[in-house]
């Protein structure tokens, strides 16, 4: 199984400041045939199901504010929130969909 490890486990950022969450996979999730990185990011608020933010490591889902961005290589990925808003307080998860089981990171709790 591909192990996904996020860092940090929790993060406190001031309003308007940048937040950076890292995700590392135990093996590459880059498929050389199409040069796609099989990595997604989700946001989960208390009592709600997760919500898709980013797929293909850097493609923003429709309707997601442009302050959210994703980047990374085959094994190291980053979710960046450029200017933190109050509504961004949540848990954030990365997930690889390169091979089953489609494993998630342990989550990062983002606070103000």
Partner 1 sequence: QVQLVQSGAEVKKPGASVKLSCKASGYTFTSYYIHWVRQAPGRGLEWMGIVNPSGGNTTYAQKFQGRVTMTRDTSTSTVYMELSSLRSEDAAVYYCARSYSYYSWIDFWGQGTLVTVSS
Site residues (CB under 8 A) for partner 1? 1, 38, 40, 42, 49-52, 55-56, 61, 93, 95, 97-98, 100-107
Shortest reach from residue 97's CB to partner 1, in Å: 6
Residues sharing a CB contact under 8 Å with residue 87, sequence separation 6 or more, in sequence order: none
Residues sharing a CB contact under 8 Å with residue 65, sequence separation 6 or more, in sequence order: none
Name the residue nearer to partner 1 (CB basis): 17 or 111.
Answer: 111
Shortest reach from residue 52's CB to partner 1, in Å: 5
Name the residue nearer to partner 1 (CB basis): 14 or 48.
Answer: 48
Residues sharing a CB contact under 8 Å with residue 33, sequence separation 6 or more, in sequence order: none
- Check the CA dihedral 34-72-24-107 and report its sign: negative
Name the residue nearer to partner 1 (CB basis): 77 or 98.
Answer: 98
């Amino acid at each position: 199984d591909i192990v996904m490890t996020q860092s940090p486990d929790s993060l406190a950022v001031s309003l308007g400041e940048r937040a950076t969450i890292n995700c590392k996979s135990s093996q590459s999730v880059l498929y050389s045939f199409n040069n796609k990185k099989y990595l997604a990011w989700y946001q989960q608020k208390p009592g709600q199901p997760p919500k898709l933010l980013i797929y293909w490591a850097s493609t923003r889902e429709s309707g997601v504010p442009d302050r959210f961005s994703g980047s990374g290589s085959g094994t190291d990925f980053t979710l960046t929130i450029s200017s933190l808003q109050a509504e961004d307080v949540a848990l954030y998860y990365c997930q690889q969909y390169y091979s089953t089981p489609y494993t998630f990171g342990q989550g990062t709790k983002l606070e103000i």
